[in-house]
Each structure stands twice: as structure tokens, then as C-alpha cells.
Amino acid sequence: MDGKVCELCATSGGTVLWESPTCRVVRVDNPDYPGFCRVIWTAHVHEMTDLDPGERQSLMSVVFAVEKAVRTLFAPDKVNLASFGNMTPHLHWHVIPRWHDDRHFPEPIWGRIQRAAHRQHAIVDDDTLCQALRKQLYPDDHQG
């Protein structure tokens, strides 16, 4: 990495909601986008094709579980899934709930601001989000 320390190797990247030996789900602290999460592959790899097919499938199962939990709790108009890595070349996925009246819509959240504010959303704490995520990841485990 040209002498730079990888942010996602050195830090959790957010509030850890769930983790396994291969990846973790973190909540991003962004008051404009409640429910914004990242799914971060544990090993330092750059691209999806650095993973074997089983690892790719496992990672995407977690991404889809996070999307479902976010949709259930936050009722967004849309969910953006993104894997860029341009600024942080460590494999991770963004799961971003979007609303038609959010600050950037229809631009990406890194785009030009379109409006000053949007409606207030229900507050969902980390424990509730964690439980919703576990319900998606382990649907047959009634104890979560």
C-alpha cells in the first residue's frame, strides 16, 4: 500500500454490529443516512475476484442480509449497494438507505448536496439493528 496503513485493516471502520472470521458489518456514523452500514472483508484484498467463488457468495449473502435488515427497520425509498475502494482499496460494500428527500437524492451520497435537510426518521439503536441483522443471517435460530 505504498507505505500507507489501510484504514480498514487498522480500525473497525465503524460500530461493529456483527462479525465472523471472514467479514464484519459496521454501522457508519452518519446522521443524514441512518442505517448506513459497511460490510468489510477481513483479509486485505482489493477486488471481489481476489476471493474464491464460495467466499464471494458468502460475502454477498451478508451484504443482502444487511440490505434486508436496513429495509425492514428504516423503510427507505431505495437502498444503494456500492463497492468502490478508490480511496480505501480494501474490499468492502456500502449499504446505504436512501429517501427521495435526503440531502443528496438523486445524486450519490458523495455527490453534490441537493437540499438542506430531510424528514426525521425513527431512531433505531445499534442493538435493534444488530438483532435485525442476526435475524436475516440466522433465520432458523430463534434465539438470535
Q: How far, CA to CA in Å, does 118 sit from each of 23, 29, 73, 123?
A: 32, 17, 18, 14
Q: How confident is the model at residue 19 (pLDDT cuts 50, 70, 90)?
A: very high
Helix, strand, coil % over all residues of the chain, rounded to 5: 30, 20, 55
The model's pTM is: 0.91
- Which residue reads 437524492 in cell numbers? 105
Give pLDDT, residue 118. 65
Give the model confidence (pLDDT) of 64-85 as tens digits: 999 999 999 999 999 999 999 8
H helices of 30-88, in order, are 53-74
Q: Is 122 helix (H, G, I), strand (E, B) or coil?
A: coil
